[in-house]
Amino acid sequence: MVIVQTSPPSAGTVSLGIEVNILPAAIEAVRARGGLVVAQLNPHMPYTFGDAVLAEDEIDYAIEADEPLASPVPRPPGEVAHRIGERVARLVPEHATLQLGIGAIPDAVLASLLDRRGLGVWSEMFSDGVLALEKAGARAWSR
């Protein structure tokens, strides 16, 4: 069984929204083994495209639930993370392309790059620190 949270149906499809990652492969694997796909249809889940789109007929059971999406509580980086972030940021030139993940160290690096310009972001995941780069005028593009 695979349990997924999706957007509400639209034109015969739902979207896996903010959490696609391995879910298409998990759905394919459970289908190959005769398993079930259960969806929680949540109006808070945004409709995203690409691999996130799932036909309604691929869902065996659906439950409607109006729940806020989980979001991590922001925590400021500690002193060690801040020092690491500053050191890493010294290695990042103007117009560099960044690929980073989630956590205290990437957030500390991003906070130390606010004075840079022309930075690119190439990542499937990013934290609010990327938004801060945008607001500071440091980011030029993302993929």
Q: What is the DSSP letter of 44?
A: T
Pick the catalytic residue from 64, 67, 86, 124.
124
**In degrees to the nearest 10, what's the CA dihedral of 23, 11, 48, 68?**
-80
Q: Tell me if residue 124 is catalytic.
A: yes
How many other CB atoms are found less than 10 A from the CB of residue 98? 22
- Torsions phi, psi of 142, nearest 5? -145, 155
Residue 104 contacts residue 84 (beta carbons within 8 Å): no
CA of 86: how far to CAs of 12, 29, 108, 130, 136, in Å? 49, 44, 7, 16, 17
Q: How far is CA 85 from the centre of its chain?
A: 22
Catalytic residues: 124
